[in-house]
Chain A
Amino acid sequence: MNVPELNRKLVEAARRAPLDDRVPYAFEKRVMAHLAHPAGVSRPDVWAAFIRQLWYGAAACAVVAFLLNVWSIPQVQDEDHAFSNGVEDCLMDAVDDAGNIL
């Protein structure tokens, strides 16, 4: 099939097609009614705005939580080490004390 010729013929067919500019009956009335009472302007969607703000808040909280978590990991590791040393010292002190009494 001759594709360039088919292309030319189809474009020519589209050019020859008369422009369909019919307007539905009383369309201008519909437009004017829409402009007078636009949907969403007279009654703003309060719930949608609230939920949007809630999502923004949740995202900010998640970021803060993540940063705090990252920041606290080294400290937790240090505290774990200090706690284990403390337990060990406490136990060994008790053993030492018992040895002294005996």
Chain B
Amino acid sequence: MDAARHVQEFAAETMAADATSKPEIPETGDAELIAAVLQGDVASFEPLVSKYSPRLFGTARRYARRESEVEDIVQEIWSKAFQRLSSFRGEAPFEHWLMRLAVRTCYDFLREHQRNRENTFTDLTEPEDNWLERFATAPESASESADAARLLVGRLLEMLSPPARLIITLLEIEDRTVKEIAALTGWSVPLVKVRAFRARAEMRKCLQRIARDKYL
């Protein structure tokens, strides 16, 4: 415990020292940084990484549970962004281009790891079990803001197939439009609609399985 506290204190001190020792750098626009990277100044890529990594981590954590997997996904996104930077035309903001890359990388990750999907809902923790019990007896008393509900939805998403999970996350949780999803994924609008229909059906089936497993 002491060692862990020392490490935390050291990290905090180092960060504070870094913050104080760094000179004030005027903020450069994304376009200038990208142009510099394309001209061979690789170091200009670092401010882009610092600026957009929080957004990428937020996205990647929706699709991967382990922190090591999340870090690998974000690193993969940055690798691809660096390699394909010349294909960025600057017509749309860099963030949009990066998010398209992020969503496609996360989808590739889901497809590669689809064999590790959870198939059962049997190993619920006590709070999750209690939340379901409460919902079964009095649905209005089960709060949506409870941690148990968040854990349950995480489990539920892990049971879905990769396209269904991606669609449910983008459409239902992030509340994006069909057109936005089509732009992010590279799928056509009719394909997004078809996959959304199937994803909702898949989710209903999973929920019915939970209800059957627990109460029959």
Contacts and interface: CB of A to CB of B under 8 A. Distances in A.
Of A4, A13, A27, most B-chain CB atoms within 10 Å: A13
Interface in B149-194: 149-150, 152-154, 156-157, 168, 172-173, 175
Given A19-B58, A20-B57, A9 B145 contact: no
Interface string B24-62: 000000000000000000110110011001110110010
| Interface residues of A, dominant DSSP | helix
A16 B53 contact: no
A1 B135 contact: yes
A4 B11 CA distance: 47
A34 B83 CA distance: 12
Contacts of B215: 1
In this complex, the interface size class of chain A, counting residues with CB under 8 Å from chain B, is 20 to 34
Nearest to A27: B53
B88 interface: no
A98 interface: no
Interface stretch (B89-97, B100-108, B115-123, B203-211): B203-211
A47 interface: no
B114 interface: no
Interface string B131-149: 0000110010010111001
A97 to B, nearest CB: 79
A27 B74 contact: yes
Contacts of A36: 42
A35 B78 contact: yes
A42 interface: no
A32 to B, nearest CB: 5
A31 B76 CA distance: 9
Contacts of B43: 32
| Max count, chain B CB within 10 A of own CB: residue among A3, A20, A31 | A31
Contacts of A30: 75
Given A3-B211, A7-B204, A21 B55 contact: yes
A17 interface: yes
Contacts of B78: 31, 34-35
A10 interface: yes
Contacts of A25: 11, 15
A2 B127 CA distance: 20
A34 B75 CA distance: 8
Given A3-B207, A23-B53, A17 B75 contact: no
19 contacts: A1-B136, A3-B211, A6-B139, A6-B207, A6-B210, A9-B139, A9-B149, A11-B172, A12-B144, A13-B144, A14-B154, A17-B150, A25-B11, A28-B50, A31-B49, A31-B79, A32-B42, A35-B78, A38-B79
Given A3-B211, A20-B58, A32-B42, 5 more contacts: A1-B135, A14-B157, A25-B15, A32-B45, A34-B78
